[in-house]
Structure formats: C-alpha cells, structure tokens
Amino acid sequence: MSRKPFIAGNWKMNMTVETGTKLIEELKPLVKNADCDVCLCVPAILIPAMVKAAEGSNIHIGAENVHWAASGAYTGEISTGMLKEYGVKYVIIGHSERRQYFGETDESVNKRTLAALDAGLTPIVCVGELLEERESGKTNEVLDRQLKVGLNGIEDVSKVVIAYEPVWAIGTGKTATDAQAQETIAYIRKKIGELFCPKCAEKVVIQYGGSMNAGNCKGLMAQPDIDGGLIGGASLKTDFATIVNFNK
C-alpha cells in the first residue's frame, strides 16, 4: 500500500503577515516539484493572508486547532466553517502544547477530530509520550489511550493523519532516532489496526514530529512506517523546503 508522503509545518505562535508572506514567497519555487503533500499550519489570524500568499502554489494552508461546535458562545475558538471559508483543508488537533498548557484532553481531541472529519477537513491528530513516560516504559500504554479515546467513533480512519510527536523531542533539538521513531510509529499503526482494521491502518498517513530538520529528515523519511513530518522550528525558515524535498 503506497501512502503519499505529507510534510506539514506548524508555525505555532510565530510569524506576522509580513514575515509569513515573505517566507511563503521564498518557499513557493523551492517546493513546487515536491512529490509529497505540503502544508503550513499557521495562527488563525494569519490564515487569510497566507492563503492569499500561497495562491496558485502546491502549499496548502492549515490551522493549528478547531472547535467542535458549529458556532456559539466559545470565546477564543474557531469553527470548521470559519476555516472552510478560506479553503483550509488541514487542521492540527491535540498538539502536546495544547494538552500541556490549555487543558486539551483525549476527550476534547476526540470531539475536535470528529467535527473536523464531519466538515470534510483532514485532522492531523497529535499523539506522543512525555520523557518520564518513556523512561518508565509507559510509551505504548500512553499511545493506546490517546489513540483509543482520541479516535473513538471515527468511521473512516484513513481520513485521519496521525502525528507521532514524542514530547521530549519537541523544540528540544533531541530528535528520536530513526529506529525509535520507526518502532513507535509501527506500533501506532498496529494499534490502529486493532482499533479499526489492519487494512485501514495501512492507509493511514503517520508523521513523525519533534526536532525534525533539514539534516535528519532523510533518515527518518526512509523508515517504512514514517510517511511524513510535522515540523515546528524548521518550518519558520527555508529549511522547510529541504525537508519537503527529502527524496531529491
């Protein structure tokens, strides 16, 4: 089963209309021959300007979060309809920073994921263990819970992208080794096979995230179960293009 590689950036709370537009202008010619799907997930307020900047290119603009309700009294949140108005296709859900600082739970991840799918958006559902969880041998247990609850009730799991991001590797410069990332992502695929069906699991695009950069992307992308990357720091510069062109 061949899965199309997918490289997505996560700008987090960085960039402005000016710096973001400039970066996208620089990236456009560099990524135009990519063999993978390319997306930059940007702060909600930058979406309109970045969609405009990326117009006519193969760079999709995504969001960093989405609420489950269609509308209503949810101060500070964004709905799927608002994202779709700008042609957004991808949305990150349950990033570890949202889990850590903003009270995101597996249950709220599940609600957001179901709402995104319902609206025809592709959720990039983030999972991953903390350092103490890895060190105490709890990685698989944590992933089991995040996947079971986070993906509960999904009809067609092949419409979901999973980003495996070991929390200890995010923004730390400490990447998981190729073997560690492969082993854990293969485990995630197996688990999805158990929760849904093995054939469906073969169709799910699973990214690695956590200090992925221009230097280590080739080794990670060469692993059989790693289908892409969710890139934080390196998506704020033209290095992102090197990652997109990992196979060139």
Footprint of ligand PGA on 184-223 (CB under 6 A): 209-212
Q: Residue 214 corresponds to which tokens in the numbers above?
A: 């221009």
Q: What is the dihedral of CA 172, 173, 179, 183, to 10 degrees?
A: 30
Catalytic hit among 95, 104, 129, 133 = 95
> Applying CB under 6 A, which of residues 31, 40, 154, 231 lies at the interface with ligand PGA?
231
Nearest to 82 by CA among 48, 39, 110: 48
Q: Residue 233 corresponds to which tokens in the numbers above?
A: 């720091």
Coil, strand or helix: which one is 3? coil
Q: Is 228 in the site for ligand PGA (CB under 6 A)?
A: no
Q: Is 165 in the site for ligand PGA (CB under 6 A)?
A: yes
Contact partners, residue 201, CB within 8 Å, separation at least 6? 157, 189, 190, 192, 193
Nearest to 146 by CA among 159, 132, 133, 156: 133
- The tokens 């990236």 sit on which residue? 27
Quick note: the x/- pattern for ligand PGA over 110-149, rule CB under 6 A, is ----------------------------------------
Least distance in angstroms from the C-beta of 98 to ligand PGA: 10
Stretch that binds ligand PGA, among 15-23, 194-202, 215-223, 231-239 (CB under 6 A): 231-239
> Applying CB under 6 A, which of residues 233, 240, 241, 244 lies at the interface with ligand PGA?
233
| Residue ranges in contact with ligand PGA by CB under 6 A | 10, 165, 170-171, 209-212, 230-234
Q: Which residues are marked as active site?
A: 95, 165
